[in-house]
Chain A
Amino acid sequence: MTCLHAPSRRELLLASGALFAWTYLPRIARAEGRDPRFLTIILRGALDGLGAVAPVGDPGWIALRDDKALKLEGEHAALPLDSFFALNPAMPNFHRLYKAGQATVVHAAATPYRERSHFDGQDILESGLPKPGTAETGWLNRAFASIEPGGRVDARGREAFAVGPVTPLVVRGPAPVLSWTPPRLPPASDDTLMRLLDLYRHTDPALARALEERMGLAAIARAGGINQDPNNPAAKQAGVAQVRAYFAEATGSAAKFLGRPDGPRVGALAFDGWDTHANEGASDGRLAQLLGALDGAIAAIETEMGPAWRETVVAVVTEFGRTAHINGTEGTDHGTATVALLAGGALKGGRVIADWPGLKPSDLQDGRDLKPTTDLRAVLKGLLKDHLRVADDALANKVFPGSGAVRAAIGLVG
């Protein structure tokens, strides 16, 4: 019976697919009597930063987005952050943390990437390299490896941790990664379904019919077009609940692992679905639902991290932003600058950090996008340096190669 073998722990974890990475506790931090945790959440598809954190104090804001603009008054009133910015109302937990000095918004931020391809943008966001191309390792993993030369995993499993079905590029690399996947991956998103239906309707009506019927959408299709019509409310509610549950389960589990005394100290996970080309719904539609799920996920981290929340930083980042204007299908197209959302008990928070570029046509990048005024790498370097004690030269050369001119942001944690 030599053919039969029990899977090793590693095989089991890889097979079941999760994504945290854990590696050594940073030695310097430990010497200071700290035990820092760092989790990064990648939002794939490009988050509309203006829909998440609105510049309500900018005189051009209402004119820019018209009835799609988040406002401080009305049914879906945005939550004020300071005299200029307000948070999407779907994020009460993040707002509470902000008020408690445990959350920070960085606005008008972007990676060095200036084109608008998701794939390349995600590669740059996660690899930390200045240009697209085949990347095998991510900045978070390299940061770990640089903290502990060799990056070996010790026998008790005090490695770095990653959560998700495929280990995200950001945490792949020389330092060993353990991964864990929630057993219930989310079902295909409405967005994926709509894209597929659109393809079928143009190329294979029989498959379109089969899918529509199975999805309970036949009635809507007959009524005159999936694209214009909101989804079947019941199916939509179920989908939203599943997305919320998946986000909370994935992050909550990550936090449980990171919170353990013998657990990993660094984690990464990725959420898809932010590519809101049509019917974006910042205040009460799809984007609001996604942000609500993200807000719930942040709350789950806080809860599950327990006492370790005090020593935690969560960084939520996306590949690029979206157009400043609403497009012809009530959505936004690929853009440039956006927000980064930071949360955690280790932050010196309660601030929106922005060198605001303005919204006038002449202020916009290429006449269409929010102009980037903060290099996202400066933010990440600041966190890695002050929270995890990654050395300056490693940050400039290994973690974000060629970023010597980009100074690490100071005072983010404290």
Chain B
Amino acid sequence: MSTLALERQIRPIYDSLDSGSHKSALLACNKLLKKHPKNDHLKALKALALTRAQKFEEAIALCEEVLATKPTDDGAINALMHALRHLGRFADLVKLFEDAFKQQPDNDELGRQAFFANVRAGNWKAAQLLANKLNKQFHNDRYIFWGIMCTVLQANDPMTTAEMREILLKLAHRLITTSWKPAEVHADRLYLFVTILQQLGLYKDARELLNTESGRFHCARNLSCDYLRRDIMRAGDWQREEAETAEQRILSKRDRNWLEFVSILDATFLPSALPNETTCESNSSSPSSFLQRVEKTRDLFTKVAEEDGSHERAAWLGLMELERRCGVHGIVSEPSRLLDLLKRYFRIFGDKAACFEDLRPYTDLGSDVLADWLAFLEGITHSPPSNTALSRFINAHKLLRHGLSVAQLTPDQEEIRAADLVRGYFEALPLEKDLPNLELQPADDLAVLAGQVYANAFTLDNAAAHLHKAIVVLEYASKKSPQSYQIHLELVRIYRLLGAPQLALDHYRLLNVKQIQNDTLSYLILSRSTNFSLAATGDLTYASECLESSHIYFSNSQETSEFIVKAFSMEKYSQISELVVFEERLDNSLQRDLVKIEHVRLRISHEPITPELVDMELIELKFIFDRLHHDNRDLEVLPNYQPRGQLSFLSQTTLFGREPATGWLSAFLKIYIKTLSEASDLDPSVEDDKLLIGDRPRQCCSPDASIPLMERLTIQTTEELSELTENELALFHYVNDLTDWLDPFHNFLRPQGESPKQAPKNGQSSNDGVPSDGNGKKLEDAPPITEPPDSILSYFKNAHAKFTGAVEGRRPFYEILHIATLTQEALLLFFICTKRFKDASIVRINKLGVLAQHIKSLRSSAADVVGQIGAQLINISELEGTADKRRQFIEHCEALQTHTEITHEYVLEVGKRLTESQRKVLEGVGRGIERIRKTPM
């Protein structure tokens, strides 16, 4: 068959792939491969079809087969490239293109692709060498700059030593200096040059470069260059000159960028310019000249502020910032000056929603003027009703709340304040009664504020009644303003605190969190989700939420490097480092692995503990353990309106008062790696190839990465211990004791044949617990059987005592559930850790009967305890969701029913949903425990 005819037959395969018909693409490939069994293009297409059909193992095998032939055919290379990219095999991509380029060294395109492949894999050194080679061969300026950029990236790689970094930066400097053509400068090349100078501390050279004609041209038009210029001026100590530029921009160009005002303020308060009485340094200026400078700045800002009036806030805030800094440096100023400014600002901008945030940093007033300020704010009302008056009223309330002293924060007073806010909310609602439901009600902030006041009252006396009122108000507000994310977020936090996870999840879902937001916001709902999960009863809501929120990490590894490549090809050097850092931050996201560990915790409670599960999770968790994590969680998403010096609303509504972070993650990784390692037969030396998707994650330069993993697992850091709750810490110690006790027996029974066990494939078991030398008998004897440490059984007994104490002490439901779910987890970990000793024949052959007896008795006692907890939970659940509980809820919210909008039926409805949700989770967790206890492991 001619090549043309074959091409004609191949085309439909592309069409099938494009339209997502992987099956028909596969069939067509197989059919054609019968006739052309050695055709690389067809094989590569089949590999691509297999990848798209999620048949990764077959795809990888085929990819490797084609790779080995070092294809040069465009079609084969392209298809293979797509397959490898989908599989995340960036190292193979490098090989593909480097081999092809070696065979066709005159092919510029292949050379570029080989460069890009190295960029995707983050091989900066190889990429740099290749860029130099491309430049020598094809003489193109851009290749020189690619090489320079790669040198800078290599210098800033965390694995590069400080000495090497210096050498590399100097190399980059030399290269860029020799190839610099001032007439052909474009913004991003300039940016690259200046960053090299900046990193070498050559600020003077950087300034000169920025002061050239092209430098000034780009700084005036390119924000990145101008931003960098500011950094250089600051680093080089040229704040005075920068202030002159800023003044000119403010006056002649009417630039109101806050950065200009900061430049002037920085120059006014330069450390060297401050009159320093204690050190009397020769370069410090005299008090009078310093005061003159302050006066000059004040005059400038006053002039601009008067001119701008209500059009711009910058100069007004500049004036307040000036007073604040004067205060910081102990410069006596008119005490009423700041107060006057605050009042004036409020009069001009009090109707802007941002007014509170603008003024907050300047409201730390001395007692002499504070009363005056508070009296001013108290005089702000929202009558006659209008949106402007309402905004002022809201801002005044936020500011008043911010200024409350500790003595004013009693639960009763907070209740009065909340009631005032709720009254204000209902009075203001009619203002926009006909607003379409996609718009936000101007009164929303009053409900949001009330929610925070109630939460603070709860923090003060732990009475759930406050939170009940909060949800009644917020639920109402969310109906009036269904799109207000702040209202939904407050409800998410409060429902979790009340132990009503389904309602929290409902509101979270209304936020429509997607894409990157999964990384930054999923902590709101998934943090310690094991606490509320009903996975043991087969309800996989949280488990699937964990999986869904993790898709973004796959997108990151698939997509971000493509845009790094694109930034190279478009020569946007200002973006490359930032994209590289972004990719790294998302790849090594703390939230990613917190969700991962939650998912493992949920998984073991509903899936059978198969050897495959044990091995695959173990491999993944070990990789995670060596990651250097970045915390990308957006902890600022919810505005905080709690008084200064108090815990923020977010902290107040965090379960157990602490959000899991790196210490918590590390402790749970240790718990699981230790337990799974005992159960697994995998030989560590063969694990690297097991990650079917993607390359082995790049290892961090962790200071103790040289210590063997198993040793590192035994180290306990204070960070870990401080992030765990008392009950989590008990689980941590329990697992330590359990694994220490059983470790010698696991080691004895674990196969130690000459060929280590291979990774599990297609669900086949590799872990049969039988020693490997044919008859299953080892030469040496079993280690002497030891009694189980008392701590194992006492863990369960203590947990039960704590559980009963929490129930009797009427602790919040989330605390009761916490003890219950952790005890359930302890039992599951016990199952995993002792599974090997369940096989009667192994026990008999290895004379481990006594050990098996110990395990059996422990298991039965532990299961008994867990069973009692489960039964108690079911008992408690029967008391929830009853008419009694609903009546209680209505009583708590009686005061709110003075508002005609809050009817008895409405409160009843909210109460019914709350108590029902609480009942469901208590009962569900109880039933889950029952199931686990009875499951034969």
- The yes or no verdict on A and B being binding partners is no
Chain B residues with a Cβ under 8 A of chain A = none
Measuring CB to CB, which residues of chain A are less than 8 angstroms from any residue of chain B?
A: none
